[in-house]
Amino acid sequence: MSNRKSDVEVFDVAVVGGGASGCATAYNLAMAGASVVVLERHDLNTEASGRNAGSLHGQIQHEPFLEEGEEWARAWIPALRFLADSLEIWDGLSDELGTDLEVAKRGGILVADDPAQLPAIERKVAIENSAGIDSRMLSASEIRELAPWLTTDAVGGELCPIEGKANPLLVAPAFAQRATDRGAVLRAGSPVEGFREEGGLHYLRTPRGEVAARTVVLAGGDGMPALARHFGIDLPISSGAVQVSVTERMEPMVSHLVYYAGGKLTFKQAKAGTLLIGGGWPARQNAAGEWVVNPESLRANLAMAVRIAPSIADISLLRTWVGIGNGTPDHSPIIGAVPGRPRVILGFYPYMGFTAAPLMGRVLTDLVLERDPGRDLTPFAPDRF
Ligand SMILES: Cc1cc2nc3c(=O)[nH]c(=O)nc-3n(C[C@H](O)[C@H](O)[C@H](O)COP(=O)(O)OP(=O)(O)OC[C@H]3O[C@@H](n4cnc5c(N)ncnc54)[C@H](O)[C@@H]3O)c2cc1C
């Protein structure tokens, strides 16, 4: 329950951002008995959390591994462990939230179709194993046994059994529903445009008026740099529009999350039977400056998918959409209080924040409630850049 200070509602915590991270945080806080308001500038789950490809990642991504190298990968292990620990929460999340989130964790396969791709995968697997991640190399016959639909050009690859998929349209709304069941207040259409501090309270200004809270959690995704700037902190969060496509329904064929070692490609078959095809191909801007589907990216993305899974060539594409993906220079999350402002807490996981959201919600809740989050957050410090 909130109370009032003159005509302003006062909450224990104001969460800015109604994506998966913000809603998971509101849920955990409400379960712990805190009074919570979520302020979302659009509608819930309308940005990255509702537009992503639904992959549940648990391995070092091959593309940054090739680009950034082994030293980067070793330094990135705390962020990898964060994903792995979040993946464990995903196992029981549908039951916990009382909604079928279409979670299936049948593993991820990274497919190589050129023997020259294998040594890098082997080095990557060694680093994953050193971090306690369950992954292993697959021979050509093993990978084709797991995925008989694969191109006969497949020469082997990697299996990471902890990976999978979930339905991004369902996750943030399910967290939000359970949060409101426990008394949290959700305010859509409430862009936070300013902050002030008075008498130990933070006042958040929106066009619909102010709300006050003892603690502020910023879980604003693409809006994080602008939000953090109000507190004098510059976050080097990059922003790039990428696209994802969905096909018509097919007979069950692909049970794994599939990656390709030769380029930007991920795909998986959703519970509905549709194939979600992505991999981070860039969208383009139209004359009005809006992000729209880039047909060249689409062609290249689909050609790659057909190369790996030749039998999908005749399947129709239903829709391609664009979402804004966000990164950090070291690919690690930003988690912790704004320096000098212990009651303003930041939560942002780059590139794979859908996978990370269940744990992000718990860790941010621990920080708000001054509980031990059970992990070293130093590698994620907001002032490390
Ligand atoms: C196309 C695409 C595919 C992806 N695929 C995957 C994938 O398969 N697996 C995976 O793990 N990750 C994937 N990601 C990344 C993942 O979607 C994001 O990392 C994750 O959703 C981030 O969640 P969030 O809640 O932190 O941010 P968001 O979902 O962006 O939510 C932040 C919210 O804050 C709101 N907000 C911002 N500023 C303000 C303000 N001033 N006032 C009020 N509200 C504000 C925004 O409107 C937004 O709703 C993908 C991303 C994209 C774009």
Give the chain's domains with CATH numbers.
Answer: 3-50+169-236+330-380 (3.50.50.60), 104-163+238-327 (3.30.9.10)
Q: 319 Cβ partners below 8 Å, 6+ apart?
A: 245, 246
**Torsion angle of the four alpha carbons 325, 330, 335, 339, in this order, in degrees rounded to the nearest 10:** -120
163 CB under 6 A from ligand 1? no
Q: CB 50: neighbour CB atoms within 10 A?
A: 22
Residue by residue, pLDDT tens for the chain (385 residues) are: 567 666 899 999 999 999 999 999 999 999 999 999 999 999 999 999 999 999 999 999 999 999 999 999 999 999 999 999 999 999 999 999 999 999 999 999 999 999 999 999 999 999 999 999 999 999 999 999 999 999 999 999 999 999 999 999 999 999 999 999 999 999 999 999 999 999 999 999 999 999 999 999 999 999 999 999 999 999 999 999 999 999 999 999 999 999 999 999 999 999 999 999 999 999 999 999 999 999 999 999 999 999 999 999 999 999 999 999 999 999 999 999 999 999 999 999 999 999 999 999 999 999 999 999 999 999 999 999 9
Q: What is residue 154's predicted lDDT score, i.e. its pLDDT?
A: 98
Q: What is residue 376's predicted lDDT score, i.e. its pLDDT?
A: 98
Task: Give the distance (Å) from ligand 1 centre to CA of residue 50.
Answer: 7
d(CA 303, CA 297): 10
Q: What is residue 7's predicted lDDT score, i.e. its pLDDT?
A: 80
277 CB under 6 A from ligand 1? no
360 CB under 6 A from ligand 1? no
Please choose from 344, 352, 380 the residue to mutate so as to test ligand 1's pocket, defined by most ligand atoms within 8 A of CB: 352
Task: Give the distance (Å) from ligand 1 centre to CA of residue 147.
Answer: 31
d(CA 358, CA 95): 13
**Can you count the helices (H) and strands (E) in the chain?**
10, 21
Task: Give the distance (Å) from ligand 1 centre to CA of residue 334.
Answer: 14
Q: CB 263: neighbour CB atoms within 10 A?
A: 16
Q: What is residue 3's predicted lDDT score, i.e. its pLDDT?
A: 72
In residues, how long is the chain?
A: 385
d(CA 356, CA 363): 11
Q: What is residue 1's predicted lDDT score, i.e. its pLDDT?
A: 54
Which atom from ligand 1 is nearest to the alpha carbon of 244?
A: 1
